[in-house]
Copies of this chain bind each other. A is one copy, B any other.
């Protein structure tokens, strides 16, 4: 399975790339600039290996870099990790190379910071959520799944498990399940079925709340859901 991370040179994208590469997935870092993508990929290969030194047996990790469109071309799963202000434009850019059967994972949070406002506030999106905007812009046959909004990039780049649940929303149940499997490959993460894609509007906004908590308390906050039976976390 090959995973393209669009906007993969940013903190969130590269953090997800690192964790999945360490879990044995084949990763392509996408960027507007192929050279920059390759540079970040090289760094992630080094960083991915270096985990071996801290106890886990070292192994080569598969991370390469490419221009965003090229990255999508050979991917089964495409993870969009660009800021909200770049989301629609980026989707229009990659749309010609997307094809039925691919899964598009949208991680976008419509923060007011996108238009010069506060990162603790969100924007209203006409379609209801950034994820639903992505679904409108994606070609027919590409399943859009929303996830990973609430995982702090800081935690992804640190060693050790990530103390966060990932709530996965999507209208294609099979695609949604595949992304829950992928989420669980990040050590510490539990994945939950968040229901339909429209529910992403709530999950997206939680990020603004977590950013506020981070600012007030100087932390890298995440989310755990309590009170559900263990089966809720099965995939």
Residues of A within 8 A of B (CB): 120-122, 152, 155, 163-164, 167, 192-195, 198-199, 201-203, 205-206, 208-210, 212-214, 216-229, 231-232
Contacts and interface: CB of A to CB of B under 8 A. Distances in A.
Given A120-B195, A194-B212, A206-B206, A217 B223 contact: no
Given A120-B199, A199-B209, A223-B225, 13 more contacts: A120-B195, A122-B202, A193-B216, A194-B213, A202-B206, A203-B209, A206-B206, A217-B229, A217-B231, A219-B229, A219-B232, A222-B227, A224-B224
A203 to B, nearest CB: 7
Contacts of A216: 193, 195, 232
Contacts of A164: 226-227
Residue of A195, A224, A226 contacting most chain B CB atoms (<10 Å): A226
CB-based closest 10 A-B pairs: A217-B232, A219-B228, A163-B226, A222-B226, A224-B224, A202-B209, A220-B227, A221-B227, A217-B228, A202-B205
A144 B227 CA distance: 29
Contacts of A198: 121
A221 B228 contact: yes
Contacts of A120: 195, 199
A84 B96 CA distance: 46
A227 B167 contact: no
Contacts of A228: 213-214, 217, 219, 221
A201 B198 CA distance: 17
Contacts of A199: 120, 209, 212
